């Protein structure tokens, strides 16, 4: 066995291994397969680079993003390794040269995108040489249960085993799969798809010891004020505030900018502006970044002191990634999450929008089945009696899951029956993720431990963190009850015992004592956190929709009600019974990125729709995909109605992100220019 430490020092210039690197490197260097799940920044790349070098020969690296590839290649080259990459951004002759270098055994590392393996002749070319090692970076992309599923990754399962050799009696090439975000379910999926079942999994390092997590139930309207208060402590900045929507980032930023140097970051702003804001945040010129989750990937700022979630995140994996951006320097940091039952309702509403009712998909499917010959989209739609927005949403999902095939000109053909199962599983999985997030928010055990367990970190100490609002309620800006409040809480507990099984809403409305709804929720959540009450979610079906509500049940016996020991409420909760206070919401500012619809004579709009559709069809034909995947009808209509004249205006159109603009922006403006000149 080669000694790895000298290689680490001389070739990579590091003095020592970071936690867990050595055991992974040893396992892979000796030819074992491995799955490695460690948080971003833990140093996963070394875990394929070092064993690859130790094994001598070429290490093949599969990576999903050109930018990631370029970055890694450049780092390896600067260390003196021969590293190359083949991706869509490079021309044919360069790629050919790289292949020749590979065949001459001149490369230490070859980076490719997964879709390269579908190019005829390419896997055969790779198979001509024995690889030292294969590394699959961002391996969670292979699983449809991961939060960043990429269909191109799916073919790795079929192709990689063929490249491993080992049939001729030689040892097989090892595979190492790496990711920062994989729940146990995604881990199992990665292992089975890559044929690695039975190999070693290293799941490590999810515990962060310097982040104090606090979760507070707070109504939407009170959050801006609360965040202002949190950040007014100088030690809590720099900070990143995550808001749920672009509009909310603008509104929050408007509320904060009197006091702090604030930047806004979301996908609706153009790339230039985003880059400038990001640089200003990195340099410290901006101290509070208000952003959607579009912000943060690959950002390396060590001294972020606070990460705030101004709304309930969609997944626990996403939440963990985002709070992980706090305290990279190891100094004490905070993660604050504000949420309310209304957030959860909003998430469910969004879920229903992105997963239309099964019945609607079924209606389209059986209509197409009954017609028996391929027909244009409008013809099919008329027969389903769905309105065009519902129809488009349902059709797209049906298409994704194979229930129909759609030509570039949007003629619809029958697909396969299997869509139903797949669709239900996916939708169910998303709902499960929402539930996990909700369980976390309502949780009554150590927050950090909850996260560590969620990721399946089995070797973790299992100790409570001592920092979060559950472990250390006294530091979490909570206060004990005042005497009037104690009386109210006792009465509420008694009432809950009496009305067990009723909805929380009804308890509040009909039960005694009469307290304001907000205060009632504060009490209820304090009772739940201290383990005196369990709040459960129930659903019932009404008109084909499932409606959820909460019920409460008292735990323990009545004798314990007297003391109310450990029942703490947020110090921001108003104390004395209040007079009517105006519920000040965050100002509804229309920031610089907000799209201002311009009214355009409908004649121009009509001409623009025709021109855009024509362009869209030719684009769809060229790429052999349905027209709606190029641009949806709704976005197309909005573009025609607002007639943007430059890329910035185009990017501000709802539904056009920077990616779409980069891909089609120039073309779309060209199509529009004759209309604009009219
Ligand atoms: P990950 O892929 O896990 O997010 P990277 O592999 O990109 O993390 O590594 C993060 C940073 O840590 C890089 O800048 C890398 O150079 C550095 N690093 C990795 N291993 C070591 C080590 N043993 N000693 C010092 N720095 C290291
Ligand atoms: Mg990485």
Is the Cα torsion angle 37, 42, 45, 51 positive or negative in sign? negative
Mean pLDDT, residues 312-337 taken together: 92
Looking at the CA of residue 38, tell me the nearest atom of ligand 1.
3
* pLDDT tens by residue, 638-652: 898 888 988 888 988
| Predicted local distance difference test score (pLDDT) of residue 385 | 94
| Predicted local distance difference test score (pLDDT) of residue 126 | 94
| Predicted local distance difference test score (pLDDT) of residue 345 | 87
User: Among 22, 36, 45, which is best to mutate for testing ligand 1, by the most ligand atoms less than 8 A from CB?
Assistant: 45
Q: How confident is the model at residue 296 (pLDDT cuts 50, 70, 90)?
A: confident
Residue 428: CB partners within 8 Å, gap ≥ 6? Answer: none
* pLDDT tens by residue, 337-383: 999 988 988 888 889 888 999 999 999 999 999 998 999 999 999 99
Pocket flag, ligand 1, residue 43 (CB < 6 Å): yes
- For the whole model, what pTM was predicted? 0.70
Burial class (CB in 10 A: 0-12, 13-18, 19+), 282: middle
Looking at the CA of residue 178, tell me the nearest atom of ligand 1.
2
User: Among 40, 44, 46, which is best to mutate for testing ligand 1, by the most ligand atoms less than 8 A from CB?
Assistant: 46
Residue with the smallest CA separation from ligand 1 atom 18 is 43
Pocket flag, ligand 1, residue 41 (CB < 6 Å): yes
Pocket flag, ligand 1, residue 185 (CB < 6 Å): no
Q: Is 599 a residue whose pLDDT tops 50? A: no
Residue with the smallest CA separation from ligand 1 atom 19 is 43
Mean pLDDT, residues 610-635 taken together: 88
| Predicted local distance difference test score (pLDDT) of residue 517 | 85
**Range of weakest confidence among 127-131, 151-155, 648-652, 660-664:** 151-155
Q: Is 476 a residue whose pLDDT tops 70? A: no
Taking every pair of Cα atoms in the chain, the longest distance, rounded to a whole number of angstroms, is: 84
Q: Is 594 a residue whose pLDDT tops 60? A: no
Task: Dig out the tokens for 493 from the structure.
Answer: 């507990």
Mean pLDDT, residues 671-675 taken together: 86
Mean pLDDT, residues 429-438 taken together: 91
Is the pLDDT higher at 244 or at 587?
244
Residue 235: CB partners within 8 Å, gap ≥ 6? Answer: 305
Pocket flag, ligand 1, residue 402 (CB < 6 Å): no
Is the pLDDT higher at 91 or at 536?
91
Q: How confident is the model at residue 571 (pLDDT cuts 50, 70, 90)?
A: confident
- β-partners of residue 83 are 109
Residue 374 Rama label (left phi>0; alpha psi -120 to 50; beta): beta
Whether 661 contacts 651, CB under 8 Å:
yes
Pocket flag, ligand 1, residue 420 (CB < 6 Å): no
Burial class (CB in 10 A: 0-12, 13-18, 19+), 194: buried
Q: Which residue has the tokens 């990460």?
A: 307
Mean pLDDT, residues 203-218 taken together: 91
Whether 571 contacts 477, CB under 8 Å:
yes
Is the Cα torsion angle 231, 233, 234, 238 positive or negative in sign? negative
| Predicted local distance difference test score (pLDDT) of residue 169 | 63
To the nearest whole number, what is the mean pLDDT of the chain? 87
Pocket flag, ligand 1, residue 17 (CB < 6 Å): yes
Residue 171: DSSP 8-state = P
Q: Is 81 a residue whose pLDDT tops 90? A: yes
Residue 302: DSSP 8-state = T
Looking at the CA of residue 137, tell me the nearest atom of ligand 1.
2
| Predicted local distance difference test score (pLDDT) of residue 605 | 81
Whether 137 contacts 40, CB under 8 Å:
no
Q: How would you list the strands of the sheet with 131-136, edge to edge?
A: 83-86, 109-112, 58-62, 131-136, 175-179, 34-37, 200-203
Task: Dig out the tokens for 260 from the structure.
Answer: 């702090």
Cα–Cα distance for residue pair 198/172, rounded to 1 Å = 15
Pocket flag, ligand 1, residue 42 (CB < 6 Å): yes
Q: Is 318 a residue whose pLDDT tops 60? A: yes
SS in 3 state form for 520-560? Answer: HHHHHHHHHHCCCEEEEEEEEEECCEEEEEEEEEECCCHHH
Pocket flag, ligand 1, residue 362 (CB < 6 Å): no
**DSSP line for 352-389:** HHHS--HHHHHHHHHHHHHH-S-EEHHHHHHHHT--HH
| Predicted local distance difference test score (pLDDT) of residue 480 | 79
**Range of weakest confidence among 473-477, 510-514, 531-535:** 473-477
Q: Which residue has the tokens 């997963």?
A: 355
| Predicted local distance difference test score (pLDDT) of residue 592 | 40
Nearest ligand to residue 324 Cα: 1
How does strand 333-339 pair with strand 34-37? unpaired
User: Among 43, 61, 204, which is best to mutate for testing ligand 1, by the most ligand atoms less than 8 A from CB?
Assistant: 43
| Predicted local distance difference test score (pLDDT) of residue 660 | 87
Looking at the CA of residue 14, tell me the nearest atom of ligand 1.
24
Task: Dig out the tokens for 530 from the structure.
Answer: 């201290």
Q: How confident is the model at residue 576 (pLDDT cuts 50, 70, 90)?
A: low
Residue 121's CB: how many other CB atoms inside 10 A?
A: 8
Pocket flag, ligand 1, residue 266 (CB < 6 Å): no
């Amino acid at each position: 066995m080669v000694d790895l430490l000298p290689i680490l020092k001389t070739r990579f210039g590091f003095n020592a291994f970071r936690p867990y690197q050595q055991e992974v490197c040893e396992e892979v260097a000796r030819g074992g397969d491995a799955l490695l799940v460690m948080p971003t920044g833990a140093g996963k790349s070394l875990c394929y680079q070092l064993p690859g070098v130790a094994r001598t020969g070429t290490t093949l690296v599969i990576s999903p993003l050109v930018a990631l590839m370029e970055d890694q290649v450049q780092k390896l080259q600067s260390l003196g390794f021969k590293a190359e990459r083949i991706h869509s951004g490079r021309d044919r002759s360069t790629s050919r040269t790289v292949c020749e270098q590979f065949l001459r055994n001149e490369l230490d590392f070859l980076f490719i995108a997964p879709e390269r393996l579908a190019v005829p002749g390419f896997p055969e070319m790779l198979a001509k040489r024995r690889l030292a090692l294969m590394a699959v970076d961002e391996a969670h992309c292979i699983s449809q249960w991961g939060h960043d599923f990429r269909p191109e990754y799916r073919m790795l399962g079929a192709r990689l085993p063929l490249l491993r050799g080992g049939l001729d009696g030689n040892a097989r090439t090892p595979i190492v799969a790496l990711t920062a975000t994989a729940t146990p379910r995604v881990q199992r999926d990665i292992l089975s798809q890559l044929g690695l079942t039975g190999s070693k999994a290293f799941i490590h390092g999810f515990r962060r010891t310097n982040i104090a997590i606090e979760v507070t139930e707070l109504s939407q309207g009170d959050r801006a004020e609360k965040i202002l208060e949190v950040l007014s402590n100088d030690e809590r900045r720099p900070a990143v505030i995550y808001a749920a929507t672009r509009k909310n980032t603008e509104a929050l930023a408007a509320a904060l900018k009197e006091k702090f140097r604030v930047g806004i970051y979301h996908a609706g702003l153009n790339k230039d502006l985003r880059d400038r804001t990001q640089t200003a945040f990195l340099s410290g010129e901006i101290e509070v970044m208000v952003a959607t989750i579009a912000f943060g990937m690959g950002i390396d700022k060590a001294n972020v002191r606070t990460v705030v979630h101004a709304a309930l995140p969609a997944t626990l994996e996403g939440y963990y990634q985002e709070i992980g951006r706090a305290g990279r320097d190891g100094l004490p940091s905070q993660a604050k999450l504000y949420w309310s039952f209304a957030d959860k309702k909003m998430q469910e509403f969004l879920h229903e929008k992105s997963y239309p009712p099964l019945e609607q998909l079924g209606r389209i499917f059986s209509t197409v089945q009954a017609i028996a010959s391929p027909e244009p989209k409008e013809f099919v739609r008329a027969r389903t009696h769905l309105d065009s927005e519902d129809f488009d949403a349902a059709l797209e999902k049906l298409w994704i899951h194979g229930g129909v095939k759609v030509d570039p000109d949007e003629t619809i053909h029958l697909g396969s029956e299997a869509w139903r199962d797949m669709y239900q599983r996916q939708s169910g999985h998303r709902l499960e993720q929402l539930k996990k997030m909700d369980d976390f928010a309502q949780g009554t055990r150590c927050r950090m431990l909850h996260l560590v367990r969620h990721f399946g970190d089995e070797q973790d100490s299992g100790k409570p963190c001592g920092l979060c609002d559950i472990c250390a309620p006294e530091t979490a800006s909570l206060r004990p009850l005042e005497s009037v409040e104690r009386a109210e809480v006792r009465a509420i507990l008694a009432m809950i015992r009496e009305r067990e099984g009723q909805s929380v809403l009804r308890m509040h409305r009909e039960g005694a004592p009469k307290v304001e709804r907000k205060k009632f929720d504060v009490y209820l959540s304090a009772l739940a956190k201290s383990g005196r009450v369990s709040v459960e979610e129930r659903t019932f079906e009404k008109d084909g929709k499932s409606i959820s509500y909460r019920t409460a049940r008292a735990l323990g016996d009545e004798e314990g009600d007297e003391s109310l020991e450990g029942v703490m409420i947020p110090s921001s909760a108003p104390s004395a019974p209040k007079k009517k206070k105006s519920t000040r919401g965050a100002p509804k500012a229309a920031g610089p990125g907000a799209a201002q619809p311009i009214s355009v004579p409908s004649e121009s709009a009509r001409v623009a729709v025709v021109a855009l559709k024509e362009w869209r069809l030719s684009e769809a034909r060229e790429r052999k995909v349905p027209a709606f995947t190029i641009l949806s009808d709704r976005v197309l209509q909005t573009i025609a109605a607002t007639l943007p004249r430059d890329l910035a205006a185009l990017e501000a159109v709802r539904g056009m992100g920077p990616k779409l603009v980069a891909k089609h922006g120039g073309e779309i403006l060209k199509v529009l220019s004759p209309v604009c000149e009219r």
